[in-house]
Protein backbone atom coordinates (compact mmCIF):
# COMPACT_ATOMS: atom_id res chain seq x y z
CA UNK A 1 0.00 0.00 0.00
CA UNK A 2 1.69 3.19 -1.19
CA UNK A 3 -0.27 5.97 0.54
CA UNK A 4 -1.45 4.77 3.94
CA UNK A 5 -3.11 7.06 6.47
CA UNK A 6 -2.80 6.06 10.11
CA UNK A 7 -5.54 7.56 12.26
CA UNK A 8 -3.93 7.60 15.70
CA UNK A 9 -6.02 9.51 18.28
CA UNK A 10 -3.94 8.30 21.22
CA UNK A 11 -1.54 9.79 23.78
CA UNK A 12 2.00 11.06 23.22
CA UNK A 13 3.49 8.04 24.95
CA UNK A 14 1.50 5.84 22.59
CA UNK A 15 2.95 7.83 19.69
CA UNK A 16 6.42 6.68 20.74
CA UNK A 17 5.10 3.11 20.79
CA UNK A 18 4.06 3.54 17.15
CA UNK A 19 7.56 4.38 15.89
CA UNK A 20 8.82 0.78 15.44
CA UNK A 21 5.85 -0.13 13.21
CA UNK A 22 6.26 3.04 11.11
CA UNK A 23 9.95 2.30 10.62
CA UNK A 24 9.30 -1.33 9.68
CA UNK A 25 6.50 -0.31 7.30
CA UNK A 26 8.97 1.91 5.45
CA UNK A 27 11.65 -0.80 5.45
CA UNK A 28 9.34 -3.41 3.95
CA UNK A 29 7.39 -1.20 1.50
CA UNK A 30 9.80 1.69 0.87
CA UNK A 31 6.83 4.00 1.51
CA UNK A 32 6.28 6.67 4.11
CA UNK A 33 3.00 6.94 5.98
CA UNK A 34 0.62 9.81 6.62
CA UNK A 35 -0.67 10.21 10.16
CA UNK A 36 -3.53 11.99 11.91
CA UNK A 37 -2.86 12.55 15.60
CA UNK A 38 -4.58 14.60 18.28
CA UNK A 39 -5.08 18.31 17.67
CA UNK A 40 -3.89 19.14 21.18
CA UNK A 41 -0.48 17.72 20.28
CA UNK A 42 0.10 20.06 17.34
CA UNK A 43 2.48 22.26 19.34
CA UNK A 44 4.39 19.18 20.53
CA UNK A 45 5.63 18.54 16.96
CA UNK A 46 6.33 14.90 17.81
CA UNK A 47 6.11 13.47 14.29
CA UNK A 48 7.58 16.49 12.49
CA UNK A 49 11.12 15.07 12.34
CA UNK A 50 10.24 11.42 11.77
CA UNK A 51 11.89 10.41 8.46
CA UNK A 52 9.23 7.75 7.82
CA UNK A 53 6.28 10.16 8.01
CA UNK A 54 5.18 12.13 4.95
CA UNK A 55 2.31 14.30 6.22
CA UNK A 56 0.98 15.02 9.70
CA UNK A 57 -2.68 15.90 10.21
CA UNK A 58 -4.54 16.71 13.41
CA UNK A 59 -7.84 15.41 14.66
CA UNK A 60 -10.37 15.63 17.47
CA UNK A 61 -10.17 13.62 20.69
CA UNK A 62 -12.47 10.58 20.84
CA UNK A 63 -12.45 10.65 24.65
CA UNK A 64 -13.16 14.34 25.22
CA UNK A 65 -14.87 15.79 22.15
CA UNK A 66 -17.81 13.36 21.95
CA UNK A 67 -20.57 12.19 24.32
CA UNK A 68 -18.72 8.88 24.74
CA UNK A 69 -15.51 7.32 23.44
CA UNK A 70 -17.26 4.59 21.44
CA UNK A 71 -19.12 7.21 19.43
CA UNK A 72 -15.94 9.27 19.25
CA UNK A 73 -13.76 6.58 17.70
CA UNK A 74 -16.49 5.54 15.26
CA UNK A 75 -17.12 9.14 14.20
CA UNK A 76 -13.42 9.88 13.79
CA UNK A 77 -12.89 6.82 11.64
CA UNK A 78 -15.85 7.66 9.38
CA UNK A 79 -14.69 11.26 9.03
CA UNK A 80 -11.10 10.38 8.21
CA UNK A 81 -12.07 7.53 5.91
CA UNK A 82 -13.79 10.12 3.74
CA UNK A 83 -10.83 12.49 4.02
CA UNK A 84 -8.46 9.69 2.99
CA UNK A 85 -10.63 9.06 -0.05
CA UNK A 86 -10.69 12.78 -0.91
CA UNK A 87 -6.89 12.91 -0.67
CA UNK A 88 -6.55 9.80 -2.87
CA UNK A 89 -4.85 7.77 -0.16
CA UNK A 90 -4.81 4.03 -0.76
CA UNK A 91 -6.18 3.16 2.66
CA UNK A 92 -6.71 4.07 6.29
CA UNK A 93 -6.08 2.15 9.51
CA UNK A 94 -6.79 3.05 13.13
CA UNK A 95 -4.90 0.99 15.75
CA UNK A 96 -7.11 0.36 18.77
CA UNK A 97 -5.49 -0.53 22.07
CA UNK A 98 -8.42 -2.27 23.72
CA UNK A 99 -6.85 -5.74 23.75
CA UNK A 100 -4.81 -6.78 26.83
CA UNK A 101 -1.61 -7.24 24.81
CA UNK A 102 1.36 -5.06 23.91
CA UNK A 103 0.36 -1.83 22.18
CA UNK A 104 3.48 -2.16 20.04
CA UNK A 105 2.27 -5.55 18.85
CA UNK A 106 -1.20 -4.16 18.10
CA UNK A 107 0.35 -1.39 16.00
CA UNK A 108 2.26 -3.90 13.87
CA UNK A 109 -0.82 -6.07 13.38
CA UNK A 110 -2.97 -3.10 12.40
CA UNK A 111 -0.44 -1.99 9.79
CA UNK A 112 -0.40 -5.55 8.45
CA UNK A 113 3.34 -6.10 8.84
CA UNK A 114 5.31 -8.75 10.67
CA UNK A 115 6.91 -7.64 13.92
CA UNK A 116 10.66 -8.39 13.83
CA UNK A 117 12.41 -10.18 16.67
CA UNK A 118 14.19 -6.96 17.65
CA UNK A 119 11.90 -3.98 18.25
CA UNK A 120 13.02 -0.59 19.54
CA UNK A 121 11.16 2.68 19.97
CA UNK A 122 12.66 5.97 18.76
CA UNK A 123 12.36 9.72 19.04
CA UNK A 124 13.56 12.20 16.42
CA UNK A 125 14.98 15.53 17.52
CA UNK A 126 16.91 18.21 15.64
CA UNK A 127 20.13 20.13 16.27
CA UNK A 128 17.93 23.12 17.02
CA UNK A 129 16.13 21.14 19.73
CA UNK A 130 19.48 20.11 21.23
CA UNK A 131 20.77 23.69 21.29
CA UNK A 132 17.56 25.06 22.78
CA UNK A 133 17.63 22.42 25.50
CA UNK A 134 21.28 23.21 26.24
CA UNK A 135 20.47 26.90 26.70
CA UNK A 136 17.49 26.16 28.95
CA UNK A 137 19.57 23.86 31.15
CA UNK A 138 22.35 26.45 31.43
CA UNK A 139 19.86 29.13 32.44
CA UNK A 140 18.20 27.00 35.13
CA UNK A 141 21.01 24.93 36.69
CA UNK A 142 24.20 26.17 35.03
CA UNK A 143 26.68 23.33 34.70
CA UNK A 144 25.43 21.47 37.79
CA UNK A 145 24.18 17.88 37.53
CA UNK A 146 20.41 17.83 37.80
CA UNK A 147 17.46 15.53 38.21
CA UNK A 148 14.51 15.48 35.82
CA UNK A 149 11.13 15.39 37.56
CA UNK A 150 7.53 15.11 36.46
CA UNK A 151 4.70 15.08 38.99
CA UNK A 152 1.40 15.57 37.17
CA UNK A 153 0.28 13.99 33.90
CA UNK A 154 -3.33 15.09 33.53
CA UNK A 155 -4.48 11.66 34.74
CA UNK A 156 -4.77 11.58 38.54
CA UNK A 157 -4.19 7.82 38.81
CA UNK A 158 -0.76 8.29 37.19
CA UNK A 159 0.45 11.26 39.24
CA UNK A 160 3.03 11.23 42.01
CA UNK A 161 2.71 13.51 45.07
CA UNK A 162 4.00 17.07 44.86
CA UNK A 163 7.61 17.24 45.99
CA UNK A 164 8.11 13.47 45.94
CA UNK A 165 10.38 13.38 42.89
CA UNK A 166 12.77 16.04 44.14
CA UNK A 167 12.95 14.41 47.58
CA UNK A 168 13.56 10.94 46.09
CA UNK A 169 16.34 12.17 43.80
CA UNK A 170 17.98 14.09 46.63
CA UNK A 171 17.92 11.11 49.00
CA UNK A 172 18.75 8.38 46.50
CA UNK A 173 20.93 10.15 43.93
CA UNK A 174 22.44 12.97 45.98
CA UNK A 175 21.11 15.66 43.65
CA UNK A 176 20.29 19.20 44.71
CA UNK A 177 19.35 20.76 41.36
CA UNK A 178 16.21 19.87 39.45
CA UNK A 179 14.26 20.63 36.32
CA UNK A 180 10.65 19.74 36.90
CA UNK A 181 7.89 19.91 34.34
CA UNK A 182 5.35 22.39 35.65
CA UNK A 183 7.87 24.22 37.86
CA UNK A 184 11.16 25.17 36.24
CA UNK A 185 9.59 24.78 32.79
CA UNK A 186 5.95 24.62 31.74
CA UNK A 187 4.63 21.61 29.85
CA UNK A 188 3.70 23.85 26.92
CA UNK A 189 6.67 26.22 27.04
CA UNK A 190 8.68 24.19 24.52
CA UNK A 191 7.90 21.49 21.99
CA UNK A 192 8.19 17.95 23.29
CA UNK A 193 11.44 17.29 21.41
CA UNK A 194 13.19 20.08 23.32
CA UNK A 195 11.90 18.57 26.55
CA UNK A 196 13.25 15.18 25.47
CA UNK A 197 16.70 16.71 25.03
CA UNK A 198 16.51 18.23 28.52
CA UNK A 199 15.57 14.78 29.80
CA UNK A 200 18.53 13.23 27.95
CA UNK A 201 20.99 15.46 29.83
CA UNK A 202 19.58 14.72 33.30
CA UNK A 203 21.76 12.84 35.77
CA UNK A 204 18.73 10.88 36.99
CA UNK A 205 14.95 10.87 36.54
CA UNK A 206 11.90 10.41 38.76
CA UNK A 207 8.68 10.32 36.77
CA UNK A 208 5.21 8.80 36.56
CA UNK A 209 3.97 6.61 33.72
CA UNK A 210 4.05 9.22 30.95
CA UNK A 211 5.58 10.15 27.61
CA UNK A 212 8.89 10.79 29.38
CA UNK A 213 9.05 7.17 30.50
CA UNK A 214 8.81 6.04 26.88
CA UNK A 215 11.23 8.75 25.76
CA UNK A 216 13.87 7.48 28.20
CA UNK A 217 13.77 4.04 26.65
CA UNK A 218 13.75 5.43 23.12
CA UNK A 219 17.01 7.22 24.08
CA UNK A 220 18.46 4.18 25.90
CA UNK A 221 18.37 6.20 29.10
CA UNK A 222 18.04 4.53 32.49
CA UNK A 223 14.78 5.16 34.34
CA UNK A 224 15.74 5.58 37.99
CA UNK A 225 12.18 5.75 39.31
CA UNK A 226 8.87 5.42 37.49
CA UNK A 227 5.50 5.10 39.16
CA UNK A 228 2.91 2.89 37.47
CA UNK A 229 -0.10 3.66 39.63
CA UNK A 230 -2.42 1.84 37.24
CA UNK A 231 -0.69 -1.47 37.96
CA UNK A 232 1.33 -4.18 36.26
CA UNK A 233 -1.38 -5.04 33.74
CA UNK A 234 -1.02 -1.56 32.23
CA UNK A 235 2.77 -1.78 32.38
CA UNK A 236 2.70 -5.08 30.47
CA UNK A 237 0.76 -3.40 27.65
CA UNK A 238 3.07 -0.39 27.28
CA UNK A 239 6.46 -1.72 28.37
CA UNK A 240 9.37 -1.52 25.93
CA UNK A 241 10.20 -4.67 23.97
CA UNK A 242 13.94 -3.99 23.93
CA UNK A 243 16.33 -4.43 26.85
CA UNK A 244 16.16 -1.53 29.29
CA UNK A 245 17.30 -0.51 32.76
CA UNK A 246 14.42 0.71 34.90
CA UNK A 247 13.06 0.85 38.43
CA UNK A 248 9.31 0.23 38.31
CA UNK A 249 7.22 1.08 41.38
CA UNK A 250 3.53 0.15 41.60
CA UNK A 251 2.85 1.54 45.08
CA UNK A 252 4.25 4.68 46.66
CA UNK A 253 5.40 4.76 50.29
CA UNK A 254 2.47 5.38 52.62
CA UNK A 255 4.35 7.80 54.82
CA UNK A 256 6.58 10.52 53.47
CA UNK A 257 8.66 13.12 55.24
CA UNK A 258 8.53 16.85 54.50
CA UNK A 259 8.89 17.58 50.81
CA UNK A 260 11.60 19.93 49.61
- 260 or 185, which is more confident? 185
Residue ranges, comma separated, of all CATH 3.40.50.2000 domains in the chain are: 4-111, 127-249
pLDDT value, residue 211: 97
pLDDT in tens, 51-79: 999 999 999 999 999 999 999 999 999 99
pLDDT at 258 over 50: no
Q: What stretches of 66-176 show up as alpha helix (H) in DSSP?
A: 69-86, 103-111, 127-141, 164-173
Question: What is the three-state SS of 126-150?
Answer: CHHHHHHHHHHHHHHHCCCCCEEEE
Fold of 127-249: Rossmann fold (3.40.50)
C-alpha of 105 from chain center: 16
Among 195, 49, 42, 194, residue whose Cα is nearest residue 124: 49
CATH class name, domain 4-111: alpha beta
What digits encode the pLDDT tens for the residues 242-251?
999 999 999 9
Residues counted in the chain: 260
How confident is the model at residue 202, as a pLDDT?
A: 98
pTM score, whole prediction: 0.94
Q: Which of 53, 69, 91, 67 is closest to 9 using CA atoms?
A: 69
- Residue 257 is predicted with a pLDDT of 46
Q: Convert the pLDDT of each residue in 89-115 to its tens digit.
A: 999 999 999 999 999 999 999 999 999
Amino acid sequence: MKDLLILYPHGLGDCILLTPAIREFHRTTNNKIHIATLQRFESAKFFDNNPYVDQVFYTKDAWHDYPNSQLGFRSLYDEWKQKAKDKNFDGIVMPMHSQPISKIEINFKTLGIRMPSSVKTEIYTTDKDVMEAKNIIAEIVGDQPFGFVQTTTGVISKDIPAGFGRKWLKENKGLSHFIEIGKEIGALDYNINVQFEILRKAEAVCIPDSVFYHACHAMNKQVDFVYFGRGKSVYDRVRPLHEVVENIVYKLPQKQGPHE
